[in-house]
């Protein structure tokens, strides 16, 4: 999976816009927070804990990690590193794809 051509963080709209070679997709910040792939969040989801994600949660910073990006959220959570493949999948129509990680 190639890195996106461009990433724009629309903080006001709460959307991360990713421009891939096959088109441009946006993912809401709340969805990204709910799909955090860090071990802590994955363990919580697997054990059936349903975390309430605030609709107004925002991505504060996007840090490049080579194979993906680390997202720093306004609720202080910053453990999730989102590989490009995962981000590409998240921008598609099917939720809960974290199970494939």
Q: Does 72 bind Zn ion (CB under 5 A)?
A: no
Q: Of residues 80, 86, 90, 91, which one binds Zn ion by CB under 5 A?
A: 80
* Binding to Zn ion, residues 25-54 (CB under 5 A): 36, 38, 41
Please count the other Cβ atoms lying within 10 Å of the Cβ belonging to residue 82: 25
Asked if residue 70 lies in contact with residue 84, where contact means CB atoms within 8 angstroms, the answer is no
- Number of chain positions touching Zn ion (CB under 5 A): 5
Which is it for strands 6-10 and 59-64: parallel, antiparallel or unpaired? unpaired
- Which parts of this chain interact with Zn ion (CB under 5 A)? 36, 38, 41, 79-80
């Amino acid at each position: 999976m190639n890195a996106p051509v461009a990433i724009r963080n629309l903080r006001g709209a709460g959307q991360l816009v990713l421009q891939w070679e096959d088109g441009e997709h946006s993912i809401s910040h709340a969805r990204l927070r709910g799909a955090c792939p860090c071990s802590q969040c994955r363990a919580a989801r697997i054990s059936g804990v349903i975390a309430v994600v605030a609709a107004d949660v925002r991505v504060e910073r996007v840090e490049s990690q080579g194979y993906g990006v680390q997202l720093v959220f306004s609720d202080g959570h910053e453990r999730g590193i989102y590989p490009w493949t995962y981000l590409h999948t998240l921008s598609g129509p099917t939720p809960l794809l974290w199970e494939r990680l």
